[in-house]
Amino acid sequence: MYVISDSCISCGACADTCPMGAIAMDDSLGRYAIDGNTCIDCGSCADGCPMGAIAPGE
């Protein structure tokens, strides 16, 4: 799965690019987060993040 770091500024761009709808605002974290059970590792979200906050994770 891909993961979002604390560099996220909650612009929301990544959520629109995800074909699985796996990205959403996480109010408890104060930033966007990826649902690892839904992510298919396509990488689309990482390419569009202005902060480079998205990368392949565990």
Residues found near ligand SF4 in the complex (CB under 6 A): 2, 4, 8-14, 17-18, 20, 22-23, 32, 34, 39-45, 49-51, 53-54
Helix or strand or coil: residue 45?
helix
**CB-side exposure of 44: number of CA atoms within 13 Å?**
14
Least distance between ligand SF4 and beta carbon 27 (Å): 13
Please answer whether residues 57 and 1 qualify as being in contact, where contact means their C-beta atoms are separated by less than 8 angstroms: yes
Least distance between ligand SF4 and beta carbon 26 (Å): 10
**Nearer to ligand SF4 by C-beta: 27 or 53?**
53
